[in-house]
């Protein structure tokens, strides 16, 4: 009961705009490990399948206006009925009714009981949208993505590829970390992690990358506090590797916070390392991160879309990890799936063009501009690069394949690469490397 009450509280916070990972970190502190895992699994599964769960609820409560608290209780209950084989139907229903009894809407416990029992008895009779007649609606409901995104992916990639993209889920609760080579080697970090009882597996593409099984509260681990490792996705590490920074070079990370890629670039011993961040509080957090990791980068609060005259042709390498729609992270961040809109993508594309325009002038002749996003939106990726190369003819695409891990070489298209979670098992990043003549 206590675990489900906590899940209901956190779900309410997420519905009000909180990020799931931050809400979990705040609310689960001090809870026994097994209870933390149950609450986290219940919430992630509910949010991953929210569209489908709501569709089922609406099939059995047709015509009813459902209060948001009641809907959240139903969502958690339906999630257990549909996706938790270890929870008996009776427990899923009865525990949901108990949640209602303890809520300000206790008079509706009979409604919740009736809806959940009806769903449990008739689960196999639910009629979903037809795959042949309503392909976008089918994908939207079955895999719980906004309808406009299902339509966009079908239009850009075809139905089969779109279904593979949208049906993919993160397979295990692993935390991806990298050894901070400024302080420790990968093998030394692995031994320390295993010595503390953590099960780890090696990264797929980067040698000093490890995935830690069932890690919660990583910031409480001494190895993290000492700066021996950083939490960072493997796709993000691939971007930093592709920058091909050499010792002594001048390097700018133009959209740096939280500073993961800047810290990675510091391992290549650049002579000058500068990090721009638009927001002062994020710059402060980034500075704290650098101090923990022993990174000697210069932080500057600056809008990357505005040209800074003093930096004209000042850098051998400029990394633009642009603000983006983050569609490549939706498979593991289900709480943000329904916050995305087509209008946001169009606006972001314009912002990215402005940043590229300013940053193009910072690169020395013979230098390199690296552009990345964590999205699979062509407006923000391939179309931006095509626009940039037309506007700045002094740039050309680099031979990206030569800069990639062997397993990804064949995926490069000239100077660009689009990663897909369902194909590559990592975040859906886009990467372009452009060289200035």
Pairing of strands 363-373, 315-321: parallel
First to last CA, the chain: 65
Residue 374 annotated to the active site:
yes
Do you know the residue count of the chain? 437
* Cβ neighbours for 405, distance < 8 A, ≥ 6 positions apart: 205, 206, 238, 241
Which tokens hold the place of 258? Answer: 């939280």
The C-alpha R_g of the chain, in whole angstroms, comes to 24
240 to 237, 251, 319: CA distances (angstroms): 5, 11, 8
φ/ψ of 196, rounded to 5, equals -95, 5
Are the beta carbons of 104 and 116 closer than 8 angstroms? Answer: no
Question: Of 176, 255, 299, 374, which is the active-site residue?
Answer: 374
Are the beta carbons of 220 and 196 closer than 8 angstroms? Answer: no
Which tokens hold the place of 355? Answer: 């940043």
Closest CA to 223 of 293, 288, 284, 295: 293
The C-alpha atoms of residue 434 and residue 245 are separated, in whole angstroms, by 14
The C-alpha atoms of residue 229 and residue 7 are separated, in whole angstroms, by 30
| DSSP structure class, residue 215 | -
The C-alpha atoms of residue 101 and residue 62 are separated, in whole angstroms, by 23
Are the beta carbons of 254 and 320 closer than 8 angstroms? Answer: yes
The C-alpha atoms of residue 413 and residue 404 are separated, in whole angstroms, by 12
Longest distance between any two alpha carbons in the chain, whole Å: 72
Give pairs for 128-134: CB < 8 Å, separation 24+. Answer: 128/55
φ/ψ of 80, rounded to 5, equals -65, -40
Strand ranges in 73-179 using DSSP code E only, listed in sequence order: 174-179
Active site (catalytic) residues:
374
């Amino acid at each position: 009961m206590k675990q489900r009450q906590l899940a209901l509280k956190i779900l309410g916070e997420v519905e009000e705009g909180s990020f799931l990972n931050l809400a979990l970190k705040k609310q689960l502190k001090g809870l026994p490990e097994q209870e933390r895992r149950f609450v986290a699994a219940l919430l992630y599964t509910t949010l991953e399948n929210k569209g489908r769960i709501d569709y089922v609820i609406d099939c059995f409560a047709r015509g009813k206006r459902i209060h948001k608290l009641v809907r959240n209780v139903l969502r958690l209950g339906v999630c257990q009925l549909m996706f938790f084989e270890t929870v008996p139907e009776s427990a899923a229903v009865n525990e949901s009714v108990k949640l209602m009894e303890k809520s300000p809407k206790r008079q509706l416990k009979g409604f919740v009981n009736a809806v959940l029992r009806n769903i449990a008895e008739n689960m196999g009779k639910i009629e979903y949208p037809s795959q042949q007649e309503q392909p976008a609606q089918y994908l939207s409901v079955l895999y719980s993505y906004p309808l406009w995104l299902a339509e966009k992916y079908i239009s850009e990639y075809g139905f089969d590829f779109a279904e593979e993209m949208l049906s993919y889920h993160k397979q295990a609760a692993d935390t991806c970390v990298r050894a901070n080579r400024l302080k420790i080697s990968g093998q030394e970090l692995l031994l320390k992690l295993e010595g503390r009882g953590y099960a780890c597996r090696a990264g797929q593409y980067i040698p000093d990358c490890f995935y830690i099984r069932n890690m919660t509260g990583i910031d409480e681990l001494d190895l993290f506090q000492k700066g021996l490792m950083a939490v960072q996705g493997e796709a993000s590490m691939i971007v930093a590797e592709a920058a091909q920074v050499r010792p002594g070079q001048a390097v700018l990370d133009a959209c740096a916070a939280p500073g993961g890629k800047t810290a990675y670039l510091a391992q290549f011993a650049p002579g000058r390392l500068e990090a721009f961040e638009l927001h002062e509080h994020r710059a402060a957090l980034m500075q704290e991160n650098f101090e923990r990791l022993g990174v000697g980068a210069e932080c500057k609060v600056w809008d990357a879309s505005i040209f800074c005259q003093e930096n004209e042709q000042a850098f051998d390498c400029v990394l633009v990890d642009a603000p983006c729609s983050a569609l490549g992270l939706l498979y593991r961040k289900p709480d943000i799936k329904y916050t995305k809109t087509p209008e946001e993508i169009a606006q972001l594309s314009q912002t990215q063009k402005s940043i590229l325009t300013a940053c193009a002038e910072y690169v020395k002749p013979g230098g390199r501009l690296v552009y990345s996003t964590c999205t699979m939106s062509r407006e923000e990726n391939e179309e931006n690069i095509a626009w940039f190369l037309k506007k700045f003819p002094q740039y050309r695409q680099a031979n990206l394949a030569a800069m990639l891990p062997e397993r990804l070489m064949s995926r490069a298209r000239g100077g660009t690469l689009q990663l897909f979670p369902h194909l590559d098992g990592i975040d859906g990043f886009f990467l372009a490397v452009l060289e200035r003549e």
